[in-house]
Amino acid sequence: MSTSNGAQEQQEISTPSPGQPLCPACFSPSAGSDVPCPVCGYSSSQPEEGGWNRLKPGTIIHARYIVGQPLGQGGFGITYLGMDLLLNTKLAIKEYFPAGASLRNPESRCVLPASEEMSEDFRKGMEKFIEEARILARFEEHPSIVSVKDFFEENGTAYMVMNHLEGRTLMAHIKERGGRLPFGEAVGILSPLMDALDEVHASGLIHRDISPDNIFLTRFGQVKLLDFGASKSALALMQQRHHSVVMKKGYSPPEQYQGSRHLGPWSDVYGMAATLYRCIAGMIPPDALDRMEEDPLEPPSRFGIPLPLYAERALLRALSLSSQNRPQSMREFKEGLLGEMLFSSGDEKAVYGTGRKAGVDSKKESPQRAEKVKVHSAWRVRRFFTWFFFFLSVLMLGAGAFFFFAASDLMERAKAGDASAQRSIGRLYEIGGILGSDQKAAEWYLEAAKQGDASAQFALGRLYSAGALGAPDFTAAAEWYEKAAELGHVNAQFALALSFENGRGRARDDALAVRWYRRAAEQGDVRAQFNLGNMAEQGRGMNQSDTQAADWYHRAGSQGHTEAQLRLARMYEQGRGVSQSEDSAARWYRSAAESGEVSAQFIVGTMYEEGRGVTPDPAQAAKWYRKAAEQGNAAAQYSLGRLYTNGLGGKQDDVEAASLYMKAAEQGYAPAQFS
C-alpha cells in the first residue's frame, strides 16, 4: 500500500501499450479519461467531492511534474501522487496549503491567503516550508529520512518533491500484529529514527509531529520518518493567533499546547516516547493536558508488559510533563532505553528522577552522579542488551523475515560499492540491527568514508570520540570530523570547532575554533551561533567585539536559543554592541521568559511593574513573578507577595502574601525576612 504522506523509493511507471493513455490520477494504463480507471476509479466526467480546492489530476507544474490524485491532506499542506516526466518515475508532491489560512481560486487553481490579515502569516509559513525543504534536501541519502528531490514556488504557493513510498505505516503494522509490539521489536524499529533525529536536530529542525502514523515501514525493510514540519511552527503561530490550535492528542508535549517557544529536541523526545508507549502498551498515553492536574499515566509493567525496569524508567522520564526533566536529546533517551545510562551512573535517582509513578515528572533530579565505570565496559554491557533485544525482536517477528530482507538488500548494495548502503550497514551494526558490533560498524563506515561520504566520516569520528572502539581517541575523532567538515557536514564542523576550543584531539586554537564555528553557524547551526557570540564577547579567537557578539546572539536567539536571548536582552539594556533600548531588552527578556528561563521571568515581572520597555501592568507583573516564583526564585516570591499585600495585579490576599514571604525567607532572601 502507499503512504498518505508521500516520500521515498522511486518507482518506474508501467509502460503502457503504444497509444494507450494513462490515468491522470494514478498513472496506470486506462481506457480514457471519461472511463473510470480500473485501478483507482478516477473519471474526469465525475468530479471528486471537494476537488475544486485541490490541483486537478493531470496538472503539470514546474514544466516537469504531473500532479495525480491526492494522497493526504494535513494541517499545513496537501500531498499528491506525482510523476516525473523526465525520469518517468512516480513521486510524491507536497503543496503548501495551510488549513484555515489559505484558499484556492477555483478557475486558476492558484493559492491565496484566506484574508488580508492572514497574508503575512501565509507568507512566513511559506518561507518556513521552503526552509524545511532546503534542510531536508541535505539529508537526501539518509536511510531514515524521506529524501527531498526538488522544491520551488508556483501558483502563489510552494511545492516539495519527494520520492514515493510503498509499504505501510507503523500504526498499520501495529494493528496487523494484534495491537501492540514486543519491546525489543519496537525499539528495533524506532532506534534508527532516534539516530536520524539527532542529526536533524543538530541542523535546527524539530519534527513536532512524531507518531505511529508518521513512521513508515517500506517494502524494502527501511524505516522512514515522514512529515517533517519547519512550516508547522508558522502554522502553530497562525492557529494560536486565531484560536484554532490542533494537536495530536497523546503525542504532543505540554509546551506545544501552550504555544511556548521552548520547543527543542526534548519536545520530539516526548513524541518518540509516546510512540514507543503506544507500540508496547497497545494504547496512546493520556493527553498532556489531562495529566496536568492528576497524572493518570501508568507504567507499561502495570499492564503486564515485559520490559527491563531501567527501560521503563527511561520511557516514563521521557514522558515527563516538564521539558527539563526529560532527556535533552534522542541519544540520551536511546541510551536510557538500552541501559547505558544505568550502567554509567551509580545514582539511580540521577538517571530517573524521584517523581511519582516510576519517575514521571519529578520536581528535582539529584545533581550527584557516581563515578562512571570504564567507558569500554559500558559499551560491552550495551552490546549484551543490544544482542538480547535484537534476538527477541527476531523471534517475535517469526524468523525476522522483515529485517533480514532489509539487511540482505542493503548488504548486496554495500558489497557492490554503494556508499549510502555501506553507511546504512554501518548504522545497523552500530545500533544492533545486525548482531551489533561497533567494530563492524566502523569497518563499513570506513568503506563509505573512503568514497567521500561525509556522514560516514562524521560517524567514525563519533565512534572514536565515544570510546566505542576501545579507549576514547579524540585525535582520530578530530581527523574524521575534519574530513567531514571540509565536505560541509554541519555536525562535523561544530564537533571540530569544539575540538579546537577545548583542546581535545587538536591543539587548542581559538582562531581555528572560530573558523569552524562560523562555517557551521552560516549553515544555521544554533549552537555554533551562540558559541561565536560568546567568543566575540570575550575576545577569544577574534578581536573583542560586542557588536559581533550581539549579531550572533541575535541569530541564535531568533532560533529560540534561550541563553542567547537572555544575553542579547542584557546588551540592549546596557547599550553594549547595540543601541540602548528598553523596548528591545523587554522583547528579548520576554522571549527567554516564555522559554522558561527563571531569571528572565523575574526581570519581565519587574519591567511590567516599573514600566520599563513596556506599558506598566500590575497583572502582567504578577503573572511573570508567579512563573518565576513557582520555579523557586526567592526574589520573585517576595515581589509577588508584595503585590498581594498591596492588592496590585489582583485582589489583596495577606495570607498568600505571608506564605510567599516565608518561602523567600527560608531561602535566605533578606527583604523577606523582615516582612
109 and 141 in a single domain? The answer is yes
Q: What domain range is 151 assigned to? A: 11-163
- 438 and 430 Cβ atoms separated by less than 8 Å: yes
Grid cell 533480514 is found at: 404
Pick the most confident of 253-262, 313-322, 625-634: 313-322
- Pair 26, 81: CB distance under 8 Å: yes
Query: Same domain for 180 and 319?
Result: yes
For residues 270 and 136, membership in a common domain is answered with no
Q: Final residue of a domain: which of 324, 345, 372?
A: 372
Q: What pLDDT sits at residue 631?
A: 83
> Is 411 within a domain?
no
59-118 confidence digits (pLDDT tens):
999 999 999 988 887 767 889 999 998 888 889 999 999 877 888 887 888 999 888 888
DSSP 56-87: PTT-EETTTEEEEEEEEE-SSEEEEEEEETTT
Specify the amino acid at residue 331. Answer: R
**Helix 265-281 with 330-338: angle, nearest 10 deg:** 40
Whether 132 and 213 share a structural domain: no
Low-confidence winner among 58-72, 431-445, 570-584 (lowest mean pLDDT): 431-445
Specify the pTM.
0.49
- Whether residue 652 has pLDDT greater than 70: yes
Q: Are residues 198 and 328 in the same domain?
A: yes
In a domain, 84, yes or no: yes
Residue 404 has pLDDT above 60, yes or no: no
| pLDDT value at 496 more than 90 | yes
**Does residue 628 lie within any of the structural domains?**
yes
Identify whether 312 is part of a domain: yes
Q: Does residue 414 surpass a pLDDT of 70?
A: yes
Q: How confident is the model at residue 438 (pLDDT cuts 50, 70, 90)?
A: confident
Bridge partner list, 95: 78, 159
pLDDT of 615 = 93
CA angle 551/554/558 to nearest 5° reads 150
Q: With bands split at pLDDT 50, 70 and 90, how would you rate the model's confidence at 177?
A: confident
Between 284 and 145, name the one with better pLDDT. Answer: 284
**155 and 18 in one domain?**
yes
Give percent above pLDDT 70 in the chain.
79
pLDDT of residue 354: 31
Residue with the bigger pLDDT between 243 and 186: it is 186
Out of 336, 357, 372, a domain closes at 372
Whether 613 and 585 have beta carbons less than 8 Å apart is answered as: yes
Per-residue pLDDT, 435: 54
**Structural domain contains residue 419:** no
Look at residues 114, 136, 163 and tell me which one is the last residue of a structural domain: 163
Q: Which residue has the higher pLDDT, 373 or 465?
A: 465
Query: CATH no. for residue 92?
Result: 3.30.200.20
pLDDT score recorded for residue 424: 83
In-domain check, residue 211: yes
Q: pLDDT value at position 371?
A: 37
The better pLDDT of the pair 100, 165 is held by 165
**pLDDT, tens digit, for every residue of 3-53?**
444 443 444 444 444 456 788 888 887 766 667 887 777 777 666 655 667
The pLDDT assigned to 86 comes to 85
Are residues 129 and 201 located together in one domain of the fold? no
Of 137-151, 289-303, 448-462, give the lowest mean pLDDT range.
137-151
Has residue 68 been placed in a domain? yes
C-beta separation of 480 from 464 below 8 A:
yes
Same domain, 116 and 218: no
| CB-based burial label for 646 (10 Å; 0-12, 13-18, 19+) | exposed
If you average pLDDT over every residue of the chain, what do you get?
80
Listing DSSP states for 412-466 in one string gives: HHHHTT-HHHHHHHHHHHHHTTTS--HHHHHHHHHHHHHTT-HHHHHHHHHHHHH
pLDDT above 80 (res 269): yes
Q: What is the pLDDT of residue 361?
A: 41
Over the Cα atoms of the chain, what is R_g? Answer: 27
State the pLDDT at residue 553.
Answer: 93
pLDDT digits (tens, 9 = 90+) for 332-359: 999 888 874 433 333 333 333 333 343 3
pLDDT at 230 exceeding the cut of 50:
no
Domain match, 175 and 159 both? no
Higher pLDDT, 671 or 182: 182
Find the mean pLDDT for residues 182-195.
Answer: 89
Domain count, the chain: 3
Give the confidence band of 526 by pLDDT, cuts at 50, 70, 90.
confident
Q: Say if residue 95 is in the same domain as residue 50.
A: yes
